[in-house]
Amino acid sequence: MLASAPNGILYVGVTSDLIRRVYEHRSGLVAGFTKQYGIKRLVYFEQYEDIQTAIQREHNMKHWSRKWKVRLVLAENPEWNDLYESIV
């Protein structure tokens, strides 16, 4: 999950290469929602062994209310730190 700022605009996505994908968003290489709203901060992520499980989780999370997504971030990352540096 990416955010524009602490408690900012949220983006949920799925990828097979988290480091590459977050780099693309941070660098503005991905046109669309994240670039338009300056969403560059990695605030939460989960890892799965198979892509189908990851895709299902993404689908479910995209239908969650903002409140649920914020609670998830706060439970794991209450300071809304950018986790990108911790994974590279």
Q: Kindly state the tokens that stand for 11.
A: 């983006």
Split at pLDDT 50, 70, 90, the class of 8 is very high
CA dihedral 75, 76, 82, 87 (to 10 degrees): -170
pLDDT average, residue stretch 44-65: 97
Residue whose C-alpha is closest to residue 21's, from 51, 50, 1: 1
Quick check: 11 and 39 in contact, CB under 8 A?
A: yes
* pTM as predicted: 0.94
pLDDT, position 30:
86
The pLDDT value recorded for residue 78 is 97
Mean pLDDT confidence for 58-65: 98
